[in-house]
Amino acid sequence: MNEVTNKFESLLSGIDIFKGLNKAAIKDISRRFQIERFQKGEKLIESGKQATCLYIVSSGNVELQTPNLLGHIKRQINLTDGSTLGEVSLLTNVPFSSDAVAIVKTVVFSLAREEFDFLLEKYKHFADTMTSQMSKRMAQDGGINKVGRYTLIKKIGEGNMATVFEAYDPMLERNVAIKMLKYDLSHNQDFLDRFEHEAKIIAKLNHPNIVNVYESIDEYSTRFIVMERLSGKDLDQILKEKGPLSIQETRDIMHQLARAMQYAHSQGKKGIIHRDIKPANVIVDDQGNVKLTDFGIAKPPKNEVTMVLGSPKYLAPEIILGNPFDGQADIYSMGIMAFTLLTGTPPFSASSLNELLSKQVKQSPPDIKKYRPEIDSDLKKFIDDSLIKDPKKRISDWKMIKTLLRPRAISDLPPVNKDEIAFITRIQNNSYQNVAMIVNKLIKIMDESDISHSVEILKQNSSDDE
């Protein structure tokens, strides 16, 4: 029996969906399988029925037979030792489109649905692998092309919490974005309970700087969040492409973000806390309009693993310490983000997670003026006051925050020094990208001519909520 067990454990560790799990996990998983034997011609799986087990072929030969409309076999796939079948049907609850027939006497190991669901919750690596398997079959020819009433078009992104697809809404004739929660979250009941509660509130958020969430859908054993399809790039991408932003660009983005957060914190009985403010969750379009995404997806960290998922470089000290927290945690994250936009990197970095978290809790941030000596006093004050470790002493008044971050008018700019020449060019009805092309050419000319210079792009907001 030990020989059979050892052989099966070795087989499991080499199968794609279990690769990367440690020996203890493999041993635990192997104990949950049962041995089944099928005679030649017997069906392991019948077309039109839902899966009840995950099968792993131990010895023999299984053929997947897909009939056409006339009942003739139009596709045949042979599965031999180490092949798996049934896992996608278990995930999606979609009936099989093929018969799985034993071509010769065949031995398989089977894992019951209840055990399969348990493993998804217990082993994050296994859940991640199954998420990957699922996402490969979505928006593909012959794969899964529908979520609710929406037709999937293509995969457009992937993060720690979700895989993102572009889809088409035939009822309202528009494209949308659909986020599929990864299976470790969709099988985490604590997370789902909070998600279901907040999803109803989040769907009601209506602010020009917050992405519109239309609905959540429970299908394929996970949750899908349907939201508006945004144009533009996230700030993480922008920073990688162009480096630190100008003072004025930073002001403009942070002011719009402050308006969004003030609105969110005023909703519901206790306000909606974002929990995961970072550049990757802020989209900027060609006109410089900001959209904050991923409300209600990021969960508050309770252990080291969830802290990693929660972007530790942007976490407030009170969250790291496990203390009760409120909207002040979001303001701390905003301070980290403002520092990052101006310098290209967050104020705290380390070679290990524990060291980084310790710095977030104990170490004072570096003086932003050392990196950007031209920074004005108001923007510096926001960064300094938002990064105070004690949430009770941290800046909290939204009117003050928006005043400190308000994009500056031309009349507010410092006067021209006697050794400076300033010129102003106003460009109407154009995008940041087009303006940037012109400015970059100008900068190149001044660089080549060895002219000391500074350039800022100013944009007047058409309206404000103050």
Which residues carry out catalysis? 276
CB atoms near residue 165 (< 10 Å): 23
C-alpha gyration radius of the chain: 27
CB-based burial, 322-340: b 16+ in 10 Å, e otherwise: eeebebbbbbbbbbbbbbb
| 135-142: long-range pairs with CB below 8 Å, 24+ | 135/163, 135/180, 137/88, 138/163, 138/165, 138/180, 139/165
Return the bridge partners of 168, or none: 151, 175
> Burial of 57 by CB count in 10 Å (0-12 exposed, 13-18 middle, 19+ buried)?
buried
Amino acid at 365: P
Closest to 317 in 3D by CA, of 262, 272, 359, 260 = 359
CB atoms near residue 374 (< 10 Å): 10
Closest to 403 in 3D by CA, of 336, 465, 335, 314 = 465
> What residues have CB less than 8 Å from 125, skipping those under 6 apart?
20, 21, 25
Closest to 235 in 3D by CA, of 227, 225, 245 = 245
DSSP states of 32-74: T-EEEEE-TT-EEE-TTS---EEEEEEES-EEEEEE-TTS-EE
Closest to 316 in 3D by CA, of 221, 247, 373, 394 = 394
Closest to 334 in 3D by CA, of 407, 390, 392, 396 = 396
